Chains A and B, each alone.
Chain A
Amino acid sequence: MADTLDVNLTRGTLDLLILKALSWGPRHGYGVVEWIESATDDALLVGEGTLYPALHRLERAGHVEAEWGLSENNRQAKFYRLSATGRRRLHSGSASWHQFVEAASRALRSAAPQEA
């Protein structure tokens, strides 16, 4: 990873990934981290801890709801669940994210500008 270009994971993108991680059902914070790592081949998440403030911010905004429950190994864990507004946010967010990425890729792939 050291020789790859440092593309910062913007807060918006991380939010989208978290919402996506929760779209199949409630997960605890560690579960969200695992999903993001596996889904992106460890490419995106630099410090795992940065996930938690993002999660709590989403909770404060009402996009996710939290509840304490038992984990797969019978430990107390805080489970997050997508709320209705969170789901709407995921849909609109990923649509505009795709538009943005397409526009950016088109620009990166474009040939030399044509002289007028």
Chain B
Amino acid sequence: MSDRFWRRAFRLETGPKRVERDVNQEIAFHLEMRTRKLVAAGFTPDAARAAALADFGDIPGIRNECLSIGRDRERAMKISDLWTNARQDVAYAVRSLRKQPAFTAVVLLILAIGIGANTATFALIDALMLRPLPVPHAEQLVTVGDPSQTGSMSSGTPSTDVVSYPAFADVRDHVTTLSGLYASAGTSSLDVRVAPSAPDPAVTHPRARYVSGNFFAVLQVHAAMGRTFGEAEDVAGGSPVVVISHAYWQRELDGEQSVIGRQISINGVMLIIVGVTPEGFTGDVIGASTDLWIPLLMQPQVTRYANWVDDRNVSWLLMMGRLKPGVTLAQARGEVSSLELHSILDHAAPDDRPIVEASVRETQIRIEPGARGFSYYRSTYARALVILMAAVVLVVLVVCANVANLMLARSAARSREISVRMALGAGRSRLVRQLLTECLVLGAAAGALGLLVATWAVRMLLRIASQGPTPIPLDAHIDGRMMAYTGAVSLITMAIFGVLPALRATRLDLATTLRGQGRALNALGSHTGGFGIGKWLVALQVALSTVLLIGTGMLVHSARQMATVNLGMDRDNLAVVSVEARKAGYSGPRLEALMRDLVARVERVPGVTAVTYSKNGLFSGSEGATGIRVPGYEIRVDSEKYVTFDAVGPGYFHAIGAQLLRGRDLSDADRRGAARVAVINETAARFYFGDTNPISRSFTRHDTAFTIVGVVRDVEEQDVRAAPVRRAYFTMSQLAGSDGSYVLEVRTTGNPSNSAKPIREAVLAVDRALTPEVDPVNSLIRQSTAQDWLVVQIVTFFGALALVLAALGLYGVMAYSTTRRTGEFGIRAALGAAPGAVTRMILREALTLTALGVAIGLPAGLAAARLTRGQLFDVQLVDPISLITAVVVLVATAAVASYLPARRAARVGPLEALRAE
């Protein structure tokens, strides 16, 4: 180190030039010494020089060899120098950060929250929207149909969002642009017994999907154990086999090696486990990992009451194919949609054909890149996640501004140290590097902490998102990519908050700083110089907080509307009890008797005031539509004949608290054999009958006439956001094809949760196979709006966080400013300024900053509010309540944050100010 060290210390020449000069000088010295010796021995100078050259040998060759060695050495030293410097910088940075534990802790905390929130949101977005299926060449996959319809089934006019089995088979057999096309569909809830021969076998309800035999072949997934499905599974009648996921095998079958060949019972049908999928493969549905795969053609055996396989009018399958090499998505789209459309039209009933054609004209058959699989949650949560990400980005910006401000204040406080070091000869680049290293160290530590925050936050987000009995089974974990993301975010954050203060700190006027921060009156004029950026940063924070607060206000307002909106029924003190009547084997008259029995039993439960039942239930996600003909109403468009309908029990509207506008409720007298009656809602009445009275008028459904006996106010039965639709209500006894599983609606005197146990017992007393579940309607509504709540809660949290950070920033800047201006205040006091005047001056300054921030933030917030439009319920885009609240909250916060520094400034006396000099 010696030579180089001293050269460094005295700023001597280093580098390649020096190497060359050294070598030349060394050779010259050698030749000179040798010549001198030979002259001394009696040679003439010329002869001596010639001999010296000859003795030396090949001078250019040796010179070059020496040069290349020297350059090598130089390079190696430069690298080791850099390394040593970096190590020194890091050590110095750690030391100086540890000297100010409070500052370091605050910065780390703020940064870790910002980075953690960012990473957690990104993890969710990644899991739901970015990560491809873990199968080979996922980019070749294409989905056919609406990828969000992972559990849909519709009967009637064939649809193209999901398709029937015969339509799928037609496309699969004729397609040429795809190397394979499979179909899959969700199952209804299955009763699975993994140990069917046990005396009282445990029943579970795993997530299963029906898949065509080529499912695994198209996805190119091979069994980890046993085999997957093949052509044998596509033979009519199906084959009684099942493939299980690795996770299910571990969870329910204890990872037993002998599991292949074992029989499990699914809805009472024995299926043989033939294979286990590789670990990590969770099926083709993102956000709902599949446990079991059952051959599609087994559906009629597994769900005995319905055969969907042979029926062209039952649409229930999603399709996924793999593009042949060289085929573009557009080519496949063209071929597949024409094959599908022809298959449907060739077999459609004459009535259905125009409907299918119209719907395909309106919305093309959806054929999209399938690398990310199917997902129900993707479409429902995508918008929410985008809003979250936007909120997080705002928070990160606030964090950056805040930390930059802290660093700025700190480097200003260290200006003496920095000027001393510069006076001692430290290079500016070296000092900048050193300040940057400090940021890097902070950034790295914050990144590590941020990962911890993120891991925790992802779990929390998922828990908030999935309140209630159905958690979102999303695999949002922190992996290497997430760490890379966090690393990038930390680095960028670091760069933003680190570079500026570092550059400023080293651009000091050495003389002024060393003389003692300038005199007090000098500060009057110049304090704005090193400090203007700080103020701008605070204004920026206020602006960003304004945006967040406006968004928060609008979302909270919207959520309140949603929670209190009149749904047309009395939602409080109302519970629904699901009853699995179909699975328990009830149908026809037996089912009617069962429901009567259940109503009678549950009515006797203490605290229950009314009981009824309906097929679809309330906020269950299940609806049905039917075509009706109303004499006197001419249908112009086919869709005008459809009404949403439900089969209900006596006293339905009374029990759910709906308001009858005309006529009467359905009653026990409207039973099988009596005159067929129906109740329609306000929307249907207005649509079909206009201003005329619909009571006693009639309509036909499936050639059966029903007389309207009542008109009820519109009830939102499934979706708080949906616009009211035309509805018709029939009694179960008078409606053909009303078999199924029913839901009891139970009105109680108090909180329905308190009566849940006796109600369940009353149902079980009728039949233990009914497996009743009791849910208050309000909690079902809450679940149906879970993602709204998720967004509201998280955005509120972020809004509060941003507000606190902005307040901290404002406080910091004002406190720092007043400390620096102690002398000025002293002089003012000496000249007779009242303490109140100084306080007012500081407050005015803080409020000016806030006003500046708000002035920038308001238009930005109004623009950003558009982003939340899809999320809003009953709230205008320019929502005065939210705007005023945001401004008031900000101004109040600013006043509080600057009051302390202002008071302190007012108490400065002339003597104190002089002592501070």
Interface set of A (CB-CB < 8 Å, partner B): 28-30, 33, 46-50, 52-53, 56-57, 59-60, 65-68, 71, 73, 75-78
Provide the bound-state CA to CA distance between A68 and B4, in Å: 11
Provide the bound-state CA to CA distance between A33 and B57, in Å: 13
For B36, list chain A residues within 8 Å (CB): 73
The yes or no answer to B33 lying at the interface (CB within 8 A) is yes
Contact between chains at A60 and B73 (CB < 8 Å): yes
Cβ contacts A to B, 5 pairs, < 8 Å: A52-B26, A53-B69, A56-B66, A56-B70, A78-B26
For A56, list chain B residues within 8 Å (CB): 66, 69-70, 73
The yes or no answer to B362 lying at the interface (CB within 8 A) is no
For B72, list chain A residues within 8 Å (CB): 60
Provide the bound-state CA to CA distance between A52 and B56, in Å: 10
Provide the bound-state CA to CA distance between A71 and B25, in Å: 13
Contact between chains at A49 and B70 (CB < 8 Å): no
Provide the bound-state CA to CA distance between A49 and B66, in Å: 10
For A65, list chain B residues within 8 Å (CB): 2-3
Minimum CB–CB distance from A67 to chain B (whole Å) comes to 5
For A30, list chain B residues within 8 Å (CB): 29-30, 33-34
Contact between chains at B25 and A52 (CB < 8 Å): no
Provide the bound-state CA to CA distance between A57 and B26, in Å: 15
Contact between chains at A53 and B30 (CB < 8 Å): no
User: What are the 9 A-B residue pairs with the smallest beta carbon separation, nearest first?
Assistant: A47-B57, A49-B57, A49-B62, A56-B69, A53-B65, A49-B56, A60-B73, A30-B33, A30-B30
The yes or no answer to B766 lying at the interface (CB within 8 A) is no
Identify which of B2, B59, B73 contacts A49 (C-beta below 8 A).
B59
- Given the contacts A30-B34, A33-B30, A49 and B58 also touching, CB distance less than 8 Å: yes
The yes or no answer to B351 lying at the interface (CB within 8 A) is no
B32's closest neighbor in chain A, by CB?
A: A75
Contact between chains at B55 and A78 (CB < 8 Å): no
- Given the contacts A66-B3, A68-B3, A71-B29, A53 and B66 also touching, CB distance less than 8 Å: yes
Identify which of A48, A53, A59 contacts B56 (C-beta below 8 A).
A48
Minimum CB–CB distance from A62 to chain B (whole Å) comes to 10
Contact between chains at A78 and B25 (CB < 8 Å): yes
| Chain B positions 50 through 66: 1 when the CB is less than 8 Å from some CB of chain A, otherwise 0 | 00000111110010011
The yes or no answer to B139 lying at the interface (CB within 8 A) is no
B73's closest neighbor in chain A, by CB?
A: A60
Provide the bound-state CA to CA distance between A30 and B55, in Å: 12
For B2, list chain A residues within 8 Å (CB): 65, 67
Contact between chains at A76 and B57 (CB < 8 Å): no
For A73, list chain B residues within 8 Å (CB): 36
Provide the bound-state CA to CA distance between A16 and B36, in Å: 28
Provide the bound-state CA to CA distance between A29 and B2, in Å: 18
A37's closest neighbor in chain B, by CB?
A: B55
B72's closest neighbor in chain A, by CB?
A: A60
Contact between chains at B70 and A75 (CB < 8 Å): no
Quick one: which of B23, B57, B59 has the most chain A CB within 10 A?
B57
The yes or no answer to B202 lying at the interface (CB within 8 A) is no
The yes or no answer to B327 lying at the interface (CB within 8 A) is no
- Given the contacts A29-B26, A67-B3, A57 and B56 also touching, CB distance less than 8 Å: no
Minimum CB–CB distance from A15 to chain B (whole Å) comes to 14
The yes or no answer to B253 lying at the interface (CB within 8 A) is no
Interface size in chain B (residues, C-beta < 8 A): 26
Provide the bound-state CA to CA distance between A52 and B59, in Å: 11
A58's closest neighbor in chain B, by CB?
A: B69
Identify which of B3, B22, B57 contacts A48 (C-beta below 8 A).
B57
Minimum CB–CB distance from B791 to chain A (whole Å) comes to 64
The yes or no answer to B911 lying at the interface (CB within 8 A) is no
The yes or no answer to B769 lying at the interface (CB within 8 A) is no
697-733 of chain B: CB within 8 A of chain A:
none
| Chain B positions 63 through 83: 1 when the CB is less than 8 Å from some CB of chain A, otherwise 0 | 001100110110010000000
Provide the bound-state CA to CA distance between A6 and B36, in Å: 30
For B76, list chain A residues within 8 Å (CB): 60
A71's closest neighbor in chain B, by CB?
A: B29
For A59, list chain B residues within 8 Å (CB): 69, 73
For A60, list chain B residues within 8 Å (CB): 69, 72-73, 76
Provide the bound-state CA to CA distance between A47 and B30, in Å: 13
Provide the bound-state CA to CA distance between A69 and B657, in Å: 105
For A67, list chain B residues within 8 Å (CB): 2-3
Contact between chains at B26 and A47 (CB < 8 Å): no
The yes or no answer to B896 lying at the interface (CB within 8 A) is no
Provide the bound-state CA to CA distance between A29 and B29, in Å: 9
Provide the bound-state CA to CA distance between A71 and B33, in Å: 10
Provide the bound-state CA to CA distance between A68 and B36, in Å: 21
- Given the contacts A47-B56, A60-B73, A75 and B3 also touching, CB distance less than 8 Å: no
The yes or no answer to B27 lying at the interface (CB within 8 A) is yes
Provide the bound-state CA to CA distance between A76 and B30, in Å: 11
Quick one: which of A50, A53, A65 has the most chain B CB within 10 A?
A53
Quick one: which of B25, B29, B33, B55 has the most chain A CB within 10 A?
B33
For A28, list chain B residues within 8 Å (CB): 26, 29
- Given the contacts A66-B3, A68-B3, A52 and B29 also touching, CB distance less than 8 Å: no
Contact between chains at B58 and A47 (CB < 8 Å): yes
For A50, list chain B residues within 8 Å (CB): 57, 62
B65's closest neighbor in chain A, by CB?
A: A53
For B69, list chain A residues within 8 Å (CB): 53, 56-57, 59-60
For A53, list chain B residues within 8 Å (CB): 62, 65-66, 69
Provide the bound-state CA to CA distance between A57 and B73, in Å: 9
Contact between chains at B62 and A76 (CB < 8 Å): no
Provide the bound-state CA to CA distance between A80 and B27, in Å: 14
Provide the bound-state CA to CA distance between A59 and B23, in Å: 13
For B32, list chain A residues within 8 Å (CB): 75
A59's closest neighbor in chain B, by CB?
A: B73
Minimum CB–CB distance from A51 to chain B (whole Å) comes to 9
Provide the bound-state CA to CA distance between A56 and B26, in Å: 11
B6's closest neighbor in chain A, by CB?
A: A67
Provide the bound-state CA to CA distance between A68 and B29, in Å: 12
Minimum CB–CB distance from B41 to chain A (whole Å) comes to 13
Provide the bound-state CA to CA distance between A48 and B34, in Å: 10
Minimum CB–CB distance from A26 to chain B (whole Å) comes to 12
Provide the bound-state CA to CA distance between A68 and B22, in Å: 9
A31's closest neighbor in chain B, by CB?
A: B33
Provide the bound-state CA to CA distance between A48 and B37, in Å: 15
A66's closest neighbor in chain B, by CB?
A: B3
For B57, list chain A residues within 8 Å (CB): 46-50
B25's closest neighbor in chain A, by CB?
A: A76
For B30, list chain A residues within 8 Å (CB): 29-30, 33, 48, 52
Minimum CB–CB distance from B496 to chain A (whole Å) comes to 43
Provide the bound-state CA to CA distance between A77 and B26, in Å: 7
1-56 of chain B: CB within 8 A of chain A:
2-3, 22-23, 25-27, 29-30, 32-34, 36, 55-56
A56's closest neighbor in chain B, by CB?
A: B69
For B22, list chain A residues within 8 Å (CB): 68, 78
Provide the bound-state CA to CA distance between A76 and B22, in Å: 10
For A71, list chain B residues within 8 Å (CB): 29, 33
Could you list 9 further interchain pairs (A-B, Cβ under 8 angstroms) beyond the known A52-B30, A71-B29?
Answer: A28-B29, A30-B34, A48-B57, A52-B65, A56-B69, A59-B73, A67-B2, A68-B3, A77-B26
Provide the bound-state CA to CA distance between A71 and B22, in Å: 15
Contact between chains at B66 and A52 (CB < 8 Å): yes
